Amino acid sequence: MPLLSFPNTLVKGCLITLGLLFCVIQAAALPVPELKGHVNDTANLLSSGTKQLLEQQLRMVAAQDSTQIVVLTITSLGNESLEQYSLKVAETWAIGHQQFDNGVLLLVAKNDRKIRIETGYGVEGVLTDLIAGRIISKIIVPEFRKKLFDQGIINGVAAIIASVKGEFDAASLANSSQKTDPAGWIIAALFGFFFIGLFFRKKQKIAAAAGGFYGLGLGLAAPFIQSIAMLLLVAVLGMLGSAIVSYVVKRRGHTRRSGTRMIFPGNIGDNNSNNNRGMKSDGLSGGGGGFGGGGASGDW
């Protein structure tokens, strides 16, 4: 009888061992953080001002073009592969619309010094793997190597937006660096001035001051601005631009909360079948687009 029961005992032991091994693997897997909006800075890589500006910017893009672009920074990948984890986040958060597959994820792993742009099927024709790679290597990485993380992500997001709109000139980056091509810097400046004015729509003086400081920071980060006169000019333009936007938005009656929600409607990935967690009522919705591993990766 003991001899007959030995195979059964062996099978049970193997099953228990496999079960324990599966639990260990699952516990070691890096969890997907709670989705709180378009900008999820779990690594505390960005300033509060940058997060607010990017959030408003990406909401507007979603409202106008339906493309859903989400930023995630994490401290470390642990034992996860960058590409596998990026795809897991995009699918778990259900980024993009089901009928358009137009989701994009910008993932930054701080301690691993890695960057990934994950693209949905619907945007692969305009935001190709080649373009995504150039955005990382030519626009984001140069700023990250100077520890200008805010500027790198602002410029990268601006380039992603331009790409999905079909307005990004990837050829200009093929044989040049960000130092000689100010296009990303100009886009970042315009978006920054606009969203500062939008954010401080009830306080023109504060908008002007914030726009001036933002312009000053951009000027200091731009290698092609090499004189104090040009630096001051950018600061003044920032003050004027942000103040004018603040005034115009206030005059048009966009100060009501209900009005703002009409401009930026919906929730990101409002799809329970995709295990979407931590949704907020002021995000985006589209049911979740399809991802097939398209995009590019890089490091700094």
Q: What DSSP line would sit under 152-196, residue for residue?
A: HHHHHHHHHHHHHTT---THHHHT--TTT-THHHHHHHHHHHHHH
CB 145 within 8 A of CB 110: no
pLDDT at 66: 86
pLDDT at 253: 60
CA 139 to chain centre: 14
- State both tokens at 160: 């992603």
What single DSSP character describes residue 132?
H
pLDDT at 121: 93
pLDDT at 133: 95
Q: What is the pTM of this model?
A: 0.64
User: How far is residue 163's CA from residue 143's CA, in Å, rounded to a whole number?
Assistant: 19
- 54 by DSSP, 3-state: which? helix
pLDDT at 280: 42
Domains of the chain, residue spans: 31-180, 182-259
CA distances for 207 relative to 14, 16, 191, 215, 235, angstroms: 66, 63, 14, 12, 12
- State both tokens at 47: 């300033």
CATH topology of domain 31-180: Diaminopimelate Epimerase; Chain A, domain 1 (3.10.310)
pLDDT at 207: 82
pLDDT in tens, the chain (300 residues): 455 555 666 556 545 655 554 444 444 579 999 999 999 999 999 998 889 889 988 998 888 888 999 999 999 999 999 999 999 999 999 999 888 899 999 999 999 999 999 999 999 999 999 999 999 999 999 999 999 999 999 999 999 999 998 877 666 555 444 444 566 677 777 777 887 877 787 778 888 888 888 877 777 766 667 678 777 888 888 888 888 887 777 776 644 444 443 333 445 554 444 444 434 434 555 567 789 889 999 999
pLDDT at 272: 41
pLDDT at 143: 93
- State both tokens at 266: 């919906």
Least Cα distance to 178 among 142, 127, 134 occurs for 142
pLDDT at 24: 44
Alpha helices (H) along 226-290: 228-251, 257-263
